[in-house]
Amino acid sequence: EIVPIEGHDQNGHKVLCEIDEVIRPGASIEDMQKLRPVFDPANGTVTAGTSSALSDGASAMLVMSAERAQALGLKPRAKIRSMAVAGCDAAIMGYGPVPATQKALAR
């Protein structure tokens, strides 16, 4: 989910960042099928179309108590109700959030 936020362009002018710049609305299935595999040219399935962009996954969050937010005149946008830590075998890299989410939701 993208929350609109003010930023500055390369010239220092204020801009509103409110869209995911990685999404290519004009891309089609046919375009994706033309992309070459990057690791195994003969049998691979990982292409630029099936992988996340270098900029994907960036985020920022300011965490503080409700009292501190009020003192600074800030309006809270979310509340942390639960959290958990979990690990998994390195052979299934990327799966770690699944058991952590399950633990957090069970609390």
Tally the domains of the chain. Answer: 1
Domain annotation covers residue 31: yes
Using the predicted structure, report yes or no on whether residue 55 has a pLDDT greater than 80: no
Q: pLDDT, tens digit, for every residue of 69-107?
A: 999 999 998 999 999 999 888 888 889 999 999 999 999
Is the residue at 36 inside a domain? yes
Does residue 13 lie in a domain region? yes
Res 94: pLDDT: 84
- The answer to whether 98 and 87 are in contact (CB under 8 A) is no
What's the pLDDT score for residue 50?
A: 86
Report the predicted TM-score, pTM, of the whole model to 2 decimal places: 0.43
Query: Are 80 and 63 contacting, i.e. CB atoms less than 8 angstroms apart?
Result: yes
* pLDDT at res. 63: 94
Q: Write down the pLDDT at residue 39.
A: 87
Domain hosting 13: range is 1-60
Closest C-alpha among 99, 65, 60 to residue 80: 65
In a domain, 32, yes or no: yes
Q: Look at residue 30 and tell me if it is in a domain.
A: yes
Residue 66 corresponds to which tokens in the numbers above?
Answer: 């409700």
DSSP secondary structure code for residue 49 in this structure? T
Nearest to 14 by CA among 22, 4, 28: 4
What pLDDT, on the 0 to 100 scale, is given for residue 26? 87
Flag whether 65 is in a domain.
no
55 found inside a domain: yes
